[in-house]
Amino acid sequence: MARWKLGIAAAMVGVMGAVAGCSGDSGSSGESTLDVWFNDPGTELQPVIQKVMTDFETAHTGVKINLRFVGGADTHQQYLTAVAGGAPPCVAQLGNTWTPEFSSMGALAEADLKLDEAKQRFVGSMVDSATMDGKVYGYPYNVGNRAFVYRKDLLEKSGVQVPKTWEEVATAAKKLNEDNKGEGIAGFGIMGGEIWQYVPLVWNWGGDIAVKEGDSYKATMNTPEAKAAFDWYAKLLTTDKLSPPDAANWVAADGTKAFALGKVAMGIYASFQLKSMLAQSPDLKEKVGVVELPTGPGGNNDTFAGGSNLVVFNDCKDQENARALVRHMAEPANVTGYTRGIGMLPASLAGIQEEQTSGSFADPLFKPFGDQAKHTRYVPADPSWGKVEGSGALVNAMQALMGGKSDLNSTMDKLNTEITEAFGK
């Protein structure tokens, strides 16, 4: 009988090599052990992942899985340390913004999935996150994206139609702001500290974050399109005053809490955030509506796709069974138990269709998130993107505009330089 062993990642990085050293080990008994690292979904969902592993073991005699749930601020460093020590796990659920970094350093094995097939089976932006130089280095696993969430009752009361463009959003929000001033309800939920609220607007205005030149990326955040997008968002606060002044510092948790408390009329929220808001305030369910994001002057409503990929590390000694496990984990039936629990979607197109037809996204409130997933993009697939995001340059630029600390041209020129320099490191 196949066996599995569960380990919660509580060990210090210094002893990690000893724990992961048996990754993909084929012992003298003929048994193979596959170390698997999975982002800790919490105690309620751990058994769901455990069952997926147990089912694989049952179907693959002689294979046992050492499942380890990882998490915390040092998770990225744990992976780096394991790779440097030649002892990473065989299989891992790796964040999509980390996948280019680890593939570029040669740590990941090429997936048994060709690019054309991947594009046919999975959300395109998630495939982009796992692709380097035309080769795919992971199976897209789950995807999370934002959509437009609004209070139906407040829009009806003010005689406002659901906005279809960002300019209509600004007009509608001003009306809602004025009509609900006495109740302290903001017309639009602004989050100056949350880059995924406004960076995708650059695409909506017809621009790009960066373009590839040769082997590296060059930032394009000082183009007219990027400037107009950032300027428009900043003025929602500075000129139109559609949220409280401290919204310049709001992050996702602040914006989510404000909507849940009934203090925001419209905003950009992810499916898992909506799930959280409804859990906090169940009475909102009958008052809330969701549609795809509005379209910008560039003629699109694309937004960022977050999520994760299932990858195999090159140092794994049992590549055959590791690849088989990834294929098993990526089957829609083995993904949805996890994604339903966290309020996200499977990254496979078949999985999304199933969820929208008979799963948790069949609810009219959540179905638009599945539609929006097909209109998503990935950030520049450069291994240094983590440095760009971690530097705070994007947030600093928006908050400088909202605080009146510098003019638009200077702010965006500085941001452009900082991003290009990060790519060059």
- Split at pLDDT 50, 70, 90, the class of 26 is low
Mean pLDDT within 176-183: 97
Question: Average pLDDT of 3-7?
Answer: 36
Residue 364 has pLDDT above 80, yes or no: yes
* Options 3.40.50.2300, 3.40.190.10, 3.20.10.10, 2.40.30.10; CATH of 4-144+306-370: 3.40.190.10
Gap between the Cα atoms of 369 and 375, Å rounded: 10
H-helix or E-strand spanning residue 169: helix 166-179
pLDDT of residue 173: 98
Q: What pLDDT is attached to residue 165?
A: 98
Torsion sign over Cα 308, 312, 313, 314:
negative
Q: What mean pLDDT comes out for the span 154-182?
A: 98
CATH of domain 146-304+384-424: 3.40.190.10
pLDDT in tens, 304-353: 999 999 999 999 999 999 999 999 999 999 999 999 999 999 999 999 99
pTM: 0.92
Amino acid at 148: F
Can you give the pLDDT at residue 5? Answer: 36
Average pLDDT on 381-392 reads 91
Rounded Cα distance, 64 and 58, in Å: 9
Name the packing angle between helices 319-330 and 46-59 (round to 10°): 130
Structure tokens at 143: 């995807």
With beta carbons less than 8 A apart as the criterion, state whether 40 and 70 touch: yes
The reply to whether domains 4-144+306-370 and 146-304+384-424 share a CATH topology is yes
**What are the tens digits of pLDDT across the range 65-119?**
999 999 999 999 999 999 999 999 999 999 999 999 999 999 999 999 999 999 9
* Residue 311 to residue 91: CA distance in whole angstroms: 6
| Domain spans in the chain, listed from the N-terminal domain onward | 4-144+306-370, 146-304+384-424
Q: Under a CB-based contact definition with an 8 Å cutoff, are residues 49 and 338 in contact?
A: yes
Beta strands per DSSP E along 196-292: 210-213, 216-219, 266-270, 288-291
Please give the pLDDT value at position 28. 40
The answer, yes or no, to whether residue 4 has pLDDT greater than 90, is no
Tokens of 41: 């979904």
Look at residue 17 and tell me whether its pLDDT is greater than 90. Answer: no
CA 188/CA 29 separation, integer angstroms = 63
- Nearest-angstrom CA–CA distance, 320 and 164: 49
The contacts of residue 361 (CB under 8 Å, 6+ apart) are 271, 345, 352, 355, 367, 369, 370
Quick: pLDDT tens for 277-307: 999 999 999 999 999 999 999 999 999 999 9
